[in-house]
Amino acid sequence: MIHRGLLILVSLAAAAIAQDYDFLIKNGHVIDGRNHISAVRDVAIKDGKIAAVEPNIAASRALKTVDATGLYVTPGLVDMHVHVFPGPEHASYDAGDWGLYPDGFTLRVGVTTVADAGSSGWRNFDDFKKRIIDTQKTRVLAFLNIVGAGMGSGRIEQNLNDMEVKPAIEVVNRYKQFIVGIKSAHFNGPEWTPYINAEEIGRATHIPVMVDFGGNVRAGRTLSDLFLKYFRPGDIYTHCYGGHRGEQDPETKGPSKAMLDGRAKGVIFDVGHGGGSFLWSCAIPLMKAGFIPDSISTDLHYTSMNAGMKDMLNVMDKFLAMGMSLDDVILRSTWNPAREIQHPELGNLSVGSPADVAVLRVEQGHFGFTDQIGARLDGTQKLVAELTIRDGKVVYDLNGMTGEQWDRIAPGTRPGDPRWDSFTPARSGRGPNQKKGPASNQQ
């Protein structure tokens, strides 16, 4: 009996060693814009990386397999405009009550990477990294605000004296793996100083500048000058369907000459929906004229999340409702923003890339989608995240795709495994070494 028991243990150990993959998603419709895939494929994961994308991978080759028949398997979504630096300050995106902890709003909608859009400046980026970047399961990157004090309210963002170039360059170079751009926002003066200084930092550090153009119309600053005199190709104009800063031709209501000139120059146009930067009266005419966004993003923050903008999937739904194909919506929510923030390892399912994956369901029905003023556009499709994987580990599972039936689990045990499940603690002799607490954002 002893010899037989030993034989069984050896056989089980050999079977475990023979498994090629930690996690396998079978029979889902894969959409991967970088690799031009839109077809039913199996996706295999090993050691936190995409290991294979093939028509048929045997389930026996994986430690854990899920069936995604009827679902869409995409790269983890990349939301490149959020505000996720919460703290005690009143009426502030910078360590304040307008910021949100990302994990509560990202993983449940398939978002695995966000870029905070200028909530912190060079003076407080260390605090942002320590409290947010280093603690969240969501991968958090950042645009550094041109204002050293960050995105505070009132006079803070109008302080030209705090838009210093040298210390910002030093912070960008110190945290190059996390800082993906420079942000200027909400500036209401007539000066071009924020954009001149931001561009100087961007050129010195080889990163793009993102601009929320603030009160440009009242101040006499034009989109044409911003795009043609100051922007470089690859710089990002966010809130492109806001409708208040010269985006539309006053006669045709289509894109203005400045917008067309900007696109011809290579300016990136980002949605940045937010609570006050998306109007159907702007978006629909521009979309009908063929002026589609390069990237889809939320501008997620405390005052936007329960208004016209709900979350990343809600914003993506709006573009489905305007007639954009699902493949194009996914492209503009994954690979395009990954390229725009110069992280080509993200937003795709290439073998060797980080295994960030979203498994999405497309619900059919009658749905209403509202803009910043509550105007509604009806649609027939709505996206729902069934499963989210970050660096090869399940971080969200809506309907228990990875679960086992309760009456099949031995008393005192749990069915997960730390090699694919972020909720199962690593045990001695099982799986790779794990960092305690949330998944590490170290890259």
What φ, ψ does residue 330 adopt, rounded to 5°? -65, -40
Instruction: Note the pLDDT of residue 427.
Output: 59
pLDDT in tens, 198-243: 999 999 999 999 999 988 988 999 999 999 999 999 999 999 999 9
341 near 181, Cβ under 8 Å? yes
Whether 298 is covered by a domain: the verdict is yes
Whether 430 is covered by a domain: the verdict is no
- Name the most confidently modeled range: 12-16, 301-305, 344-348, 437-441: 344-348
Q: Does residue 391 register a pLDDT over 90?
A: yes
Instruction: Note the pLDDT of residue 424.
Output: 85
Whether 440 is covered by a domain: the verdict is no
Question: Residue 13 — pLDDT band, cuts 50, 70, 90?
Answer: very low
Whether 288 is covered by a domain: the verdict is yes
Residue 155 C-alpha from the chain's centroid: 30
Better-scored residue on pLDDT, 172 or 413: 172
We report the CATH number of the domain holding residue 133 as: 3.20.20.140
- As a whole number of angstroms, the distance between CA 273 and CA 372 comes to 8
Whether 175 is covered by a domain: the verdict is yes
Q: Does residue 433 register a pLDDT over 90?
A: no
Question: Residue 436 — pLDDT band, cuts 50, 70, 90?
Answer: very low
Instruction: Note the pLDDT of residue 4.
Output: 43
Instruction: Note the pLDDT of residue 393.
Output: 98
Question: Tokens in use for 341?
Answer: 């923030």
Instruction: Note the pLDDT of residue 441.
Output: 56
Question: Residue 154 — pLDDT band, cuts 50, 70, 90?
Answer: confident
Q: What is the mean pLDDT of the chain?
A: 93
Q: What's this model's pTM, rounded to 2 decimal places?
A: 0.93
Token pair 């854990």: residue: 64
**Segments forming the whole domain that contains residue 278:** 75-348
Question: Residue 55 — pLDDT band, cuts 50, 70, 90?
Answer: very high
337 near 78, Cβ under 8 Å? yes
pLDDT, average across residues 384-399: 98
Whether 415 is covered by a domain: the verdict is no
Whether 255 is covered by a domain: the verdict is yes
- As a whole number of angstroms, the distance between CA 416 and CA 392 comes to 13
Whether 121 is covered by a domain: the verdict is yes
Instruction: Note the pLDDT of residue 12.
Output: 41
Q: How many domains does the chain have?
A: 1
Buried b (16+ CB within 10 A) or exposed e, 290-316: ebbbbbbbbbbbbebbebbbbbbbbbb
